[in-house]
Amino acid sequence: MRLEGKVAIVTGGGSGIGRETCLRFAAEGAKIVVADLGIASAEETVALVKAAGGEAVAVKVDVSKAADAKLMVDTAEETYGKLDILFNNAGISHSQDDDAVTTEEDVWDLTFDVNVKGVFLGCKYGIPALRRNGGGTIINTASFVAILGAATPQLAYTSSKGAVLSMSKELAAIHARENIRVNALCPGPLRTELLMKYLDTEEKRQRRLVHVPMGRFGEAKEIANAVLFLASDEASFVTGATFLVDGGITCAYTTPLGEPK
């Protein structure tokens, strides 16, 4: 097993990428702290992990609150004795997020509180725990839009993911010699609730897919496989990476091949 004996925190573990990662980690031998604002969803993930023979505990966490970030780290150490892996995955995309003129200040602030401050606080309390364990790994969920921008205006979300990407690079440089690896995971368009609530017609979905060379949306399970690699010892020389798992959308925009047919 690739994560035998490891202890992981997964924020946003109640659904989507977070839930699939919890299941994937547990199948590879890790013990999981499932952190989510929706405790019922977190407990559902725990039940799925346990049904598959794994170990997990749920904790209600608002990642934008320092006390909650500390709680999830304390839970890992008090329940399982240490922390090896921190997956700062929780994030939001606000329905009123638009361009600079239209987006309201409260939408901007909420998006940054969750998507950026949440990663900062996870690292603020998680890094000391990793140090106490002699090292470990952090994976922060950014996005392909941190590289390209978004064709449909979502300025707060795109800006927040750019911040996560740059934060991850600096953290990687700072902590590399402490045996702490930090990488930014950049998923492409996925068939998850977060995206599908916007792409709610076939016309909207096809408008997005025309830019994806593989011609389909990614699945949360596929992203979980990438997180597993970054969390495992197989990625022992990988830090500060912009880890794109995007069906080729960035290469389609950054090469002279033109728009995929």
Q: Is 152 helix (H, G, I), strand (E, B) or coil?
A: coil
Find the helix packing angle between 105-112 and 155-175, rounded to 10°: 30
3-state helix, strand, coil in the chain (%, to 5): 50, 15, 35
Helix (H) or strand (E) holding 177: none
> Could you give phi then psi for residue 181, rounded to 5 degrees?
-95, 140
Report DSSP state, residue 173. Answer: H
Q: Is 259 helix (H, G, I), strand (E, B) or coil?
A: coil
- Is the separation of the CB atoms in 85 and 231 below 8 Å? yes
Tokens 């309201």 identify what position? 104
Residue from 25, 9, 236, 5 nearest 121 by CA: 9
Concatenate the DSSP letters of all residues of 185-244 into one string: EEE-SBSSHHHHTTS-SHHHHHHHHTT-TT-S-B-HHHHHHHHHHHHSGGGTT--S-EEE
Q: Is 80 a catalytic residue?
A: no
Catalytic residue among 125, 157, 198, 253: 157
Residues taking part in catalysis:
157
